[in-house]
Structure 1
Amino acid sequence: MANTLPTLLLVILLSQSADGARTKLHPNLAASDGICQSMVESQGYVCEHHKKPDKPPVLLQHGVLVDSVTWLLNSPDESLAFILADNGFDVWIANTRGTISSLGHTSLSPNDAAYWDWSWDELVAYDLPATFNYVHAQTGQNMHYVGHSLGTLIALAAFSQKKLVNMLRSAAMLSPIAYLGQMSSLLARAAADAFLAEYTYWLGISEFIPLGDAAAKLLKVICDETHSNCADLVTAFTGKNCCVNNSKTGTFLEHEPQPTATKTMIHLSQMIRWGTIAMYDYGSKFENNQHYGKPTPPVYNMASIPKDLPLFLSHGGQDLLSDVKDVKTLLATLKGHHANKLVVQYRKDYAHSDFVFGVNANKLVYDPLMAFFKLH
């Protein structure tokens, strides 16, 4: 067993007097590191110094089949994470379970089928609340939230159940997804058909690896069936992105795509085929009864999202995944939302990836987004 020392965490809270001046400390205690060195490390313990930030926290949540690199790929003046940090925000970036940076588990290995026994329902029920609670506990503050694609879906689903809103200042949805029934990506629709038509086959493959053999066979089938140009898969799936920096493609491919649970892909396929936003359908009334106590999966009711929750929604006219018609369906469910709490931005030339990789998103999307954050 490795010889490890116990760790003490020393949190320093800077107090202020009524006139704004810092409270005077004893000269021997002026440096917080001095407490660690003189009172803790001298006793053989490891000490870490933490100071709670006074900056408003922002949590960034990426989409499906990618990871947190999406927020960091471009240059610092073009990537949302860096831009937020430069504008005085305390930035937290999440990695969804199953991605290469988030493979931990208390008892299961990623080699175990049970490790992958989840859909995006579990992200709503467990992972996103755990992430919110962690950021809230570490910062002592309510946060802003930014989701892209699947990151919007899990947040909207949680908000519809009144979850997380007590820790929120505001939420931004880039390429918002709640409804997928009208999506215009032929490849995505064909993939959804394949997942549901071969439901039992795909359930036998618990981990969906985008670069794996099963995914390659699926891709060949749907490319042949749709007569699509699969030489450019990003465009074929997401739409014609106007403003992505192609020089970053190599860096992108070093990190992406990322694995996810096959159940998540099946769940998204159910949404595409049936036009619903509901929990995972287990395929029979009996199994649904076993899980939900009813023959059909419960619905996430978007109309139940608190009407006073500040929301910023930005969507694009070329987006084949977050289709304009589906976004309109979402907005129709939010028609009773307080007018001063809802901002909707439409970029006619933007497709799905432009919102995170677009070289001009800093001015067109992120500047209005930060102005919205600063209002709330």
Structure 2
Amino acid sequence: MLQDALTWLSNSPDESLGFILADNGFDVWLANVRGTNYSSGHTSLSPNDPEYWDWSWDELVEYDLPAFVQYVNGQTGQKLHYVGHSLGTLMAFGAFSREEVLNMVRSAALLSPIAYMGQMPSPLARAAADIFTAEALILHEFFKLKSCSPTTYGHKEHDPSSPEQGTIAMYDYGSDDDNNKHYGQTTPPDYNMTSIPNDLPLFLGYGGEDLLSDVKDVQTLIDALSDHDPDKLVLQYIQDYAHLDFVYAVNAKQVVYDPLVAFFRLN
């Protein structure tokens, strides 16, 4: 969030996952979600137009990630190993429940996975010191804890909800009638985090100091994946890692990326 694919190239070449994967013989495709610096084009709208921002994370799940996967598969004729961090994991949990996407994916590495957020500290100012002030502030606007329904970047009003299970739900249109029109029910449906096939190889990396992807929330995710083939699920817990360490820590190559590369080679 608030970043683009340069995240994976920001450290030195021997510390950045994009370069490390390339050096290990992988073709590396970097994806930018809509509205970021390298993905700001539109057939008719400018980023200065409010309508340009009239979308939520639902569109990233429904359209953007499937388009990324379909494009790379079409160019290479190969299934993909997917790497996502934070927002990239939330997109994956939604999109990987769809057969047409899964048919093009070999495995997925999900770092600081966002699937449940019941344990995230309520005043996000606590997170700002350890994470990234702007990211924490914008996250407060995206997450309204009940179902943590994502709101749009733009002008839509979001109906705040009370904290409950901390699951992730689709966009809340703010009224029973509008939700009924879009979903056939008065509340936005939750994303089904357990709909990922049990035999899809998964690498989950999470940290003990992560205030966004809290350890207890990740454990809720792990519990939800209890039926997953144990031979297809790799869990990596790093006690002293915070949210952004998975992409910016200078020792991430040894701690995270080398095991991740080994995981890809096995799958």
TM range (shorter): 0.7 to 0.9
Separation of aligned partners in 1, 2:131 and 2:102: 36
Separation of aligned partners in 2, 1:155 and 1:115: 23
Query: 1:65 matched to which residue of 2?
Result: 2
Compute the displacement of 1:185 (Å).
6.6
Separation of aligned partners in 2, 1:346 and 1:185: 24
* Residues 1:356 and 1:301: Cα distance change in structure 2 (over 3 Å): same
Equivalence map 1:134-153=2 (5 Å): 134-153=71-90
Separation of aligned partners in 1, 2:10 and 2:129: 16
* Residues 1:290 and 1:146: Cα distance change in structure 2 (over 3 Å): same
Matched, 1:235 2:130: yes
Query: 1:117 matched to which residue of 2?
Result: 54
The two structures have a TM-score, normalised by structure 1, of 0.63
Matched, 1:303 2:178: no
Query: 2:157 matched to which residue of 1?
Result: none
Q: Is the 8 A contact 1:292 1:298 kept in 2?
A: yes
Percent identity (aligned): 65
Compute the displacement of 1:357 (Å).
0.4
Q: Is the 8 A contact 2:131 2:244 kept in 1?
A: no
Compute the displacement of 1:323 (Å).
0.3
Compute the displacement of 1:162 (Å).
3.9
The two structures have a TM-score, normalised by structure 2, of 0.87
Separation of aligned partners in 2, 1:185 and 1:346: 24
Write 1 or 2 for the structure with the bigger share of helix: 1
Separation of aligned partners in 2, 1:101 and 1:185: 33
Separation of aligned partners in 2, 1:285 and 1:358: 45
Counterpart of 2:204 (choices 304, 313, 317) is 313
Separation of aligned partners in 2, 1:294 and 1:324: 32
Counterpart of 1:348 (choices 230, 239, 262) is 239
Matched, 1:77 2:14: yes
Compute the displacement of 1:236 (Å).
5.4
Equivalence map 1:3-42=2 (5 Å): none
Pairwise CA RMSD: 2.0
* Residues 1:82 and 1:90: Cα distance change in structure 2 (over 3 Å): same
Partner-residue secondary structure (3-state), 1:186: coil
Q: Which runs of 4+ in 1 moved over 6 A?
A: none
Query: 1:277 matched to which residue of 2?
Result: 168
Separation of aligned partners in 1, 2:140 and 2:73: 30
Compute the displacement of 1:338 (Å).
0.4
Q: Is the 8 A contact 1:162 1:306 kept in 2?
A: no
Deviations 1:105-163 (A, max 9, x none): 11211111111011110000000111111111111111100000000001011123445
Equivalence map 1:123-202=2 (5 Å): 123-184=60-121, 186-187=123-124
Q: Give the paired residue count.
A: 249
Compute the displacement of 1:268 (Å).
2.6
Structure 1 unpaired stretches of 5+: 1-63, 188-222, 239-256
Q: Is the 8 A contact 2:172 2:179 kept in 1?
A: yes
* Residues 1:184 and 1:237: Cα distance change in structure 2 (over 3 Å): farther
Separation of aligned partners in 2, 1:237 and 1:179: 20
Q: Is the 8 A contact 2:131 2:243 kept in 1?
A: no
Structure with the greater alpha carbon radius of gyration:
1
Separation of aligned partners in 1, 2:55 and 2:222: 29
Counterpart of 2:225 (choices 304, 316, 334) is 334
Query: 1:364 matched to which residue of 2?
Result: 255
Q: Is the 8 A contact 2:208 2:215 kept in 1?
A: yes
Partner-residue secondary structure (3-state), 2:58: helix
Counterpart of 1:108 (choices 45, 53, 69) is 45
Structure 2 unpaired stretches of 5+: 149-162
